[in-house]
Amino acid sequence: MSPREAVGGVVVHSVRDRGLVLKKGTVIGAVEVAALEAAGVAHIVVARLDPEDISEDAAAARVAAAVAGEGVHVDAAFTGRANLFAEHSGVLMIDVAAVDAINLQHEAITLATLPAYKPVVAGEMIATVKIIPFGVPAAACEAAVAAIAALGEAARMRIAPYRIRKVGIISTLLPGLAGKVVNKTLKVTAERLAPTGAVITAEQRVPHDEAELSAALRAQHEAGADMIIVFGASAIADRRDVIPAALESAGGAIEHLGMPVDPGNLMLVGRLGDKPVLGAPGCARSPKENGFDWVLTRLLAGLSVTRADIMAMGVGGLLMEIVTRPQPRIAQGEEHARVAAVILAGGQSRRMGGPNKLLAAAGDKPLVRHAAEQALASRLRPVIVVTGHQRAEVEAVLGGLEVHFVHNPDFAEGIASSVRAGIAAVPAEAEGAAVCLGDMPLVEAALLDRMADRFAPDHGALIVVPVRDGRRGNPVLWSRRFFPELMLLAGDVGARHLLERYREAVAEVAVDDEGAFLDVDTPEALGSLHQALPPSDDKG
């Protein structure tokens, strides 16, 4: 129809013509008619509502207002959509039955929300009401509103504000638990609490002993902590373990032990007087979301967390693959996990500005031969050498050594292609592989053996790196569990980002020298090696 005939109608399709933009859902009035005629638009498709219908914007606004409770703001409806936002930080409270009741009233009326009990911040969008056609029967809209009213005030979405401000932390200690682990745990916990406004007001470290912990719990309670979190040096095994026993001897009560959320299974929820006490699972030392977060945020908002609440968390409770979860060894009965060595020797030595540095003399033999001989002197097997640039020459200078060669025809793409080629060649019986660099001749067999000894995939040590003064070096030993991700690497970038992603799986080996940090990238660096390299009878 013509623009003048369309007055009062709703635009069905967006109009973009000669600078005119008229969005779908716009109601045609005198201004729109003038704009359409000025743009030369002779025909337009509109929808007209029946007398018993209500417009999409009016319906969306009506339903959104009905479901918005305390701490929720509703934006003005537009194109049949009304968005709801949190007015302040807190925990999103949603009645699932109320949401279902709205969505079952009429197919044209939809309500989508964030998950119930999700922590939200001020200004965060928490839900949206969308009316699918341009209008709906007014009776359907009123039925949806009535369904909410029938369920009562509790059916309306609200934001439960955070109420707890003072948190006490107790860490129990056992020999072998490094102080830096406790320090890191405090830092992670402070960061976890920060969005809620809570702070750590007291921190204690006591032996992993029932009497010592019981006294610390009483002291924290008497000092005025609103909540107490206990990080145990050992995971809670059952109700007779140190942490639950200490809570009871301090006069507290265990409300629940364990939860169907992974990671987070080994968590204790209790009370000391009227203050909540959490026995944190080991995963709570990590900033990654886990079951501890699900309970912590509710308690910080002053919400009760019952046994029934916890045991209802199973659906959706598998949050992620837990890389540190113990798994059976591939080769049973061995004293040590079998580890392969992968030496990357396929690069083009671009930063050297000329010849292949791996073939250059370093001391009394080619650079790459130093790396290969040290790997062979360790207990790592097999030793896989990835070739690429000047393949024949590299293989020649390694002649006579019991290494397995793998050629990477894509070496020009960067180091990631050589990592992929090497990892693909690791035999199935190997539980891990140390990725070594062919231009690091000072990485000694003793270091490789120490890294292999530290590697314990059945005890959570799945990645091993050498460290000096907080700085991480090479090589890096990877559990087979990470091989699929190593095979996805691309370009001239290594796998350092995975160390951060899976930092809870990283084990460190302290080193005193520069061998794990010195790679040869310049002629000057090559020249300085002559004094550092030990002599050898094998001239290669």
Rounded CA-CA distance 150/235 in Å is 47
Check residue 40 and give its pLDDT. Answer: 83
117 and 246 within one domain: no
Domain residues for the domain of 130 are 53-160
Q: Does residue 317 lie in a domain region?
A: no
For residue 239, count CB atoms less than 10 angstroms from its CB and return exposed for 0-12, middle for 13-18, buried for 19 or more.
Answer: middle
- Residue 453 has, within 13 A of its CA and on its CB side, a CA count of 9
pLDDT the model gives residue 211:
97
In a domain, 5, yes or no: no
- 331 belongs to a structural domain: no
3-state secondary structure labels for all residues of 155-169:
HCEEEECCCCCEEEE
Return the CATH number at 105.
3.90.1170.30
The token duo for 533 is 């390299």
- Assigned domain for 500 exists: yes
- In 8-137, which ranges are continuous DSSP H helix? 30-38, 56-67, 96-103
Burial (CB < 10 A; 0-12, 13-18, 19+), residue 489, is buried
Give CA–CA dist 126/378, Å, rounded.
Answer: 57
- 349: alpha, beta or left? (left if phi > 0; alpha if psi -120 to 50): left
**pLDDT at residue 281, rounded to an integer:** 94
Q: How many other C-beta atoms lie within 10 A of the C-beta of residue 474? A: 20
Residue 27 confidence (pLDDT):
79
Domain boundary among 131, 160, 189: 160
Alpha-carbon gap, residue 464 to 475, rounded angstroms: 9
Question: How many residues belong to the chain?
Answer: 540
- My answer on whether 100 and 129 are in the same domain is yes
Quote the distance between the C-alpha of residue 181 and its chain's center: 19
Q: Which CATH number is 196's domain given?
A: 3.40.980.10
Say if residue 444 is in the same domain as residue 427. Answer: yes
Q: Hey, what are 113's tokens?
A: 């929300």
Residue 318 in domain: no
Say yes or no: 393 and 503 in one domain: yes
Cβ neighbours for 371, distance < 8 A, ≥ 6 positions apart: 343, 345, 436, 437, 438, 439, 440, 441, 443
Tell me, yes or no, whether 228 and 149 share the same domain.
Answer: no
Contact predicate 208/232, CB 8 Å: yes
Contact (CB, 8 A) for 337 and 381: no
**Whether 390 and 290 share a structural domain:** no
Whether 189 contacts 171, CB under 8 Å: no
Closest by Cα among 364, 372, 363 to 345: 372
Cα maximum dimension of the chain: 100
Q: Which helix (H) or strand (E) holds 215?
A: helix 210-222
Total domains in the fold of the chain: 4
Q: With respect to residue 328, please indicate whether it lies within any of the assigned structural domains.
A: no
Does residue 294 contact residue 302 with C-beta atoms inside 8 Å? no
* Whether residues 241 and 350 fall in one domain: no
Q: Are residues 367 and 434 in the same domain?
A: yes
The pair of structure tokens assigned to 162 is: 């955070």
Looking at the fold, whether 344 and 493 belong to one and the same domain comes out as yes
Residue type, position 2, single letter = S
DSSP H or E run through 257: strand 253-257
Q: Is 97 helix (H, G, I), strand (E, B) or coil?
A: helix
Q: What is the CATH number of the domain that holds 479?
A: 3.90.550.10
Residue 399 vs residues 310, 364, 372: alpha-carbon distances, Å? 63, 15, 11
Q: How far apart are CA 7 and CA 26, in angstroms?
A: 11
Residues of the chain with pLDDT under 70: 320-336, 350-354, 521-540
What values do phi and psi take at 280, rounded to 5?
-75, 140
Using one digit for the tens of pLDDT, what is the confidence trace for 185-240? 999 999 999 999 999 999 999 999 999 999 999 999 999 999 999 999 998 989 99
Domain boundary among 126, 160, 194: 160
Enumerate residues 6+ apart whose C-beta is below 8 A from 190: 199, 200
439 token code pair: 């231009």
Its pTM surpasses 0.75: no
Q: Which residues, 6 or more positions from 290, have their beta carbon under 8 angstroms from its beta carbon?
A: 261, 263, 264, 281, 283, 284, 319
Burial 422-448 (b: 16+ CB within 10 A, else e): bbebbeeebbbbbbbbbbbbbbbeebb
Say if residue 349 is in the same domain as residue 497: yes
Residue 249 φ/ψ, nearest 5 degrees: -70, -20
- Of 160, 178, 194, which residue sits at a domain end? 160
Residues 154 and 79 in one domain: yes
415/375 same-domain check: yes
pLDDT value for 330: 46
Neighbours of 194 (CB within 10 A): 10
How high is the pLDDT of residue 163? 97
Which pLDDT belongs to residue 22?
A: 76
Query: What tokens appear for 124 in the block?
Result: 């965060």
| Residue 540, in any domain of the structure | no
Q: Is residue 326 in some structural domain?
A: no
Q: Which amino acid is at 414?
A: G
